[in-house]
Structure 1
Amino acid sequence: MRKHLAPMAAEPTAADLAAIDTEWPLIAAELDVLDAEITMLYAEDHGGPTALDWRRLRRAEAGVIRAAAELADRTTGPRRAA
């Protein structure tokens, strides 16, 4: 049995909640991709995905890219022109 485990806090700290809040747009965008992928999997049982299913997946993937770029901009600060 391990004896050197760090004690676990019962609840998240304010810093933990702030980090989640900062990353939430990216988390939500990734959940949209997951939802679109699940829809595509279920569509296979009903004749395959429709054009609308593919469009939804592409939009969700683009949303992840946008959210990741916005998060990177927020965490690294403004960029300077070279």
Structure 2
Amino acid sequence: MSHIVTVQGAVTAFEDFMEPTSAELDAIEREMPVILADVDLLDAHIATIDRTPTELDARRIRRARRRALAARVALLNQTVGTSLPGGAA
């Protein structure tokens, strides 16, 4: 006869590793302006999926694209002075 046993120990053995570390949370916080700018850009594109974009829509997309690019440049400028992981120079 085969006994049924729980695998709770195996499932929760890596519980400590499932939470993000402080470094990962800091990286997310630094990237948040880029993430929000990308969400705005996606919103602008989604609004025009089922119709022909008007001039106002085109301006909204261009503005959102410029904000997304500016956020990426700002993030890149912040990280230029810091060292990259893995020892890359």
With the length of structure 2 as denominator, give the TM-score of the two structures.
0.69
Name the larger-Rg structure.
2
Partner of 2:77: 73
Read off the aligned partner of 1:12 and give its amino acid letter. Answer: P
Structure 1 residue ranges without an equivalent (≥5): 1-6, 78-82
Could you say what the CA RMSD is over the residues aligned between the two structures, in angstroms? 1.4
Structure 2 residue aligned with 1:21, among 16, 29, 34? 29
Distance 1:55 1:28 in 2: 18
With the length of structure 1 as denominator, give the TM-score of the two structures.
0.75
Identity, in percent, stands at 43
Partner of 2:60: 56
Structure 2 residue ranges without an equivalent (≥5): 1-13, 82-89
Structure number with higher helix proportion: 1
Q: Deviations over 1:7-64 (max 9, x none)?
A: 572211111100000111111111111111100103x1xxx22111110000000011
